[in-house]
Structure 1
Amino acid sequence: MDKVFVQGLEVLTTIGVYEWEKGIRQKIRFDLEMGYDNRPAAAGDDISKALDYAALSHKVTAYAEQNHVELVETMAEHIARLILTEFPVQSVKVRLTKPAAVPNAAGVGVEIERFATRNLRD
């Protein structure tokens, strides 16, 4: 399966379980990988048949900025569902990193992979 990816998409949002976190915006980083058939776009050198990763990045950014959750696990699930619902992808892998969560660590987070339930050939 072909993959389209967005690496290092940084967003400022309110995320965290502690009271002090609920009053601030923190940076989170998304690494996104989508299963998408690139052959039609490549065959005709046709951007209209390619996955629009700029639009996808914009939607993910807007969602994360506007929707506040406590857990990185929750945000990752919401982003995966958003991508599978709004874009014609077969799968999505979401790696969400919270860079400043643990002292002496470059970041902590989660990685999930979800699959489309619809038949994309219809």
Structure 2
Amino acid sequence: MPEQQTVTNRTTDKVFLEGLQVETVIGAYDWERSIRQTLWLDLTLAFDCRPAGTSDDLAKALDYDALSKQIRAWASEQSFELIETFGEQLCTLIYEFAGIRDIQLRINKRGAVADCAGVGIHIKRTF
């Protein structure tokens, strides 16, 4: 696990990834178990941006490109019936990969309900 970042109660900094598209096997119906579907992820991650902001040092910033690649690679290998399970395990992955302790995640599974722009879940986890 990476070095854990200390985020104090005074820190309100957040890093976000919005509309991250991942391909995975997700769904409870037989036809869903044989195809890959797209999920759209919105992530808000508590991260103290001051060290990067005061030093202009990339190494002190959250590498959201590396994180997004890790999420996509992980999602492509998964197979779950429920987006709730996908979400729980994704939050654990983010914590283990980047040491992020406060995670807000929104998962949109467009097309899951007819005549609806999207359905999904919004969860918050603190490690």
**1:8-43 deviation line (CA, Å, top 9, x unaligned):** 011121100000100111111110110000000000
The answer to whether structure 1 residue 47 and structure 2 residue 58 are counterparts is: yes
Structure 1 residues not aligned, in runs of 5+: 117-122
> Secondary structure, in 3 states, of the residue corresponding to 1:61?
helix
Structure 2 residues not aligned, in runs of 5+: 1-11
TM-score normalized by the length of structure 1: 0.92
TM-score normalized by the length of structure 2: 0.88
The answer to whether structure 1 residue 113 and structure 2 residue 124 are counterparts is: yes
Question: What is the percentage of aligned positions where both structures have the same residue?
Answer: 44
Q: Where has structure 1 moved over 3 Å in runs of 4 or more?
A: none
* 50, 72, 75: which one aligns with 2:83: 72
The answer to whether structure 1 residue 29 and structure 2 residue 40 are counterparts is: yes
- Length, aligned pairs only: 116
Equivalent residue letter for 2:113 = V
Question: How far is the alpha carbon of 1:76 from its aligned partner?
Answer: 0.6
